[in-house]
Amino acid sequence: MDEMNSIPNEYRGLDVEEMRRRILEHKGRLGGKLLILGHYYQRDEVIQFSDFQGDSFALAKRGAESEAEHIVFCGVRFMAEASAILAKPGQRVYLPALDAGCPLADMAEVHQARAAWDALEKVGVAGEYLPVVYMNSSAAIKAFCGERGGTVCTSSSAGRAFDWAKAQGRRVLFMPDRNLGINTALASGMRPEQIAEWDPYAPNPGVAKEAKAVVWKGHCHVHTFFTEAQVERARRENPGCMVAVHPESDPEVVAASDANGSTSFLKKYAEDAPKGSTVVIGTEINFVARLAKENPDKRIVPLARSLCPNMFKTSMADLLWVLDGLGEVNEIAVPAGVSEGAKTALDRMLAL
């Protein structure tokens, strides 16, 4: 991170009410020229100022559809990159905490993706594959997929991406989340033996020639924290409860649950649950806690307490600092050569 983009220390000691007043002043002064987007996993002190809350792609799309000149994305870097890629000419995107990355996105670097593709070419099967990359990935990986006929997907559209590849008679190279890839492949009708794993750090990872899907060995530590034993305990402690988890969880956890789906799906699942019911949710703790407050007519509890430390990095002070220096600090820009290929992959997702 550039020194010029490091938040000054004096912001850390500001009074909460002063920060709130100043942020609201910026919002009032800029009106429709400013759009603050808040991912579901953000803490309450930040999400209270968001104009829209949602999943990463829904927010990026919302920003591009707006007439705002300045889009402040309270999330992590890959989300702000996607917002910048989809943004209209003249729109500028900012990330309040530049060090808010995503370990999952970092588990697939573009040189590793090229190495995997080269391995498929060496065994003569690259032409049989389409690369599908999860939204939780860098702009460079999205561009890699776009340039090779592939697409981006979200956790809610992964199944459609697999079906899209199958309709073309192609197999899938899925990056970077292993669990989402396996859970989607199984849901699409593939058998476990038809799913191969690619470990980018193995000396000779190899490629299964007969595999219908090759899934990258990456993971989200927020969701691999959940276990089948935790689901069993939740059922013992809450007889008759409903259990729903994110599909980045291990396949055994998904199989033991009543439902699985994206963050938006989990939100609707909790909202639609019968009054008085107990709903156990397996995803990021800030989001689960907010669901519990927003749905007082039922009991919503976390499967286990799992925090995303990168989402937690964005504070009210970071948001205020970016608004104070709007146009001068923390702008996210994606190089044109990368942006074009990434947008191609994102446009294919929209077409699905």
Domain boundary among 177, 193, 219: 219
Are 196 and 280 within one domain? Answer: no
Confirm whether 11 is domain-assigned: yes
Q: pLDDT at position 202, please?
A: 87
Are 133 and 187 within one domain? Answer: yes
Compute the average pLDDT of residues 315-340: 96
Specify burial of residue 297 (Cβ count, 10 A radius: 0-12, 13-18, 19+).
exposed
Are 112 and 178 within one domain? Answer: yes
Q: pLDDT at position 203, please?
A: 79
Are 270 and 317 within one domain? Answer: no
Compute the average pLDDT of residues 235-259: 98
Confirm whether 351 is domain-assigned: no
Half-sphere exposure of 259 (CA within 13 A, CB side): 20
Q: pLDDT at position 5, please?
A: 61
H/E segment holding residue 88: none
The number of helix segments (H) and strand segments (E) in the chain equals 18, 13
Distance CA 235, CA 262 (A): 22
Confirm whether 261 is domain-assigned: yes
Distance CA 211, CA 283 (A): 30
Nearest by Cα to 303 from 319, 315, 323, 289: 289
Confirm whether 342 is domain-assigned: no
Q: pLDDT digit string (tens) for 128-147?
A: 999 999 999 999 999 999 99
Asked which of 5-19, 54-68, 164-178, 185-199 is least confident by mean pLDDT, the reply is 5-19
Q: pLDDT at position 138, please?
A: 96
Confirm whether 345 is domain-assigned: no
Are 250 and 152 within one domain? Answer: no
Nearest by Cα to 138 from 84, 102, 173, 89: 102
Can you tell me whether residue 278 is helix, strand or coil?
strand
Are 235 and 328 within one domain? Answer: no
Confirm whether 338 is domain-assigned: no
Confirm whether 142 is domain-assigned: yes
Are 9 and 93 within one domain? Answer: yes
The structure's pTM equals 0.94
Are 109 and 96 within one domain? Answer: no
Task: Between 213 and 2, name the one with better pLDDT.
Answer: 213
Quote the DSSP letter at residue 177.
B
Confirm whether 180 is domain-assigned: yes
Are 27 and 87 within one domain? Answer: yes
Confidence label for 320 from pLDDT (cuts 50, 70 and 90): very high
Cis peptide bond N-terminal to 176, omega within 30? yes
Compute the average pLDDT of residues 308-320: 97
Task: Between 15 and 352, name the one with better pLDDT.
Answer: 15
Compute the average pLDDT of residues 232-256: 98
Are 213 and 269 within one domain? Answer: no
Distance CA 163, CA 210 (A): 18
Count the domains in the chain.
Answer: 3
Task: Between 6 and 252, name the one with better pLDDT.
Answer: 252
Using DSSP bridges, classify how beta strands 151-153 and 129-134 pair: parallel, antiparallel or unpaired.
Answer: parallel
Nearest by Cα to 63 from 31, 72, 314, 78: 72
Give the residue numbers spanning the domain of 38.
3-100+313-333
Q: pLDDT digit string (tens) for 177-226?
A: 999 999 999 999 999 999 999 999 987 776 777 799 999 999 999 999 99
Query: In three state form, how does the secondary structure of 68-87 look?
Result: CCEEEEECCHHHHHHHHHHC
Q: pLDDT at position 4, please?
A: 45
Are 62 and 19 within one domain? Answer: yes
User: Would you say residue 351 has pLDDT above 50?
Assistant: yes
Domain boundary among 193, 219, 245: 219
Compute the average pLDDT of residues 299-307: 98
Are 270 and 165 within one domain? Answer: no
- Strand ranges (E), 15-126: 34-39, 52-54, 70-74, 92-94
Distance CA 173, CA 128 (A): 10
Domain boundary among 219, 247, 271: 219
Read off the CATH number of the domain in which 12 is found.
Answer: 3.40.50.10800
DSSP 225-276: T--HHHHHHHHHHSTT-EEEE-TTS-HHHHHHSSEE--HHHHHHHHHHSPTT
Q: pLDDT digit string (tens) for 22-61?
A: 999 999 999 999 999 999 999 999 999 999 999 999 999 9
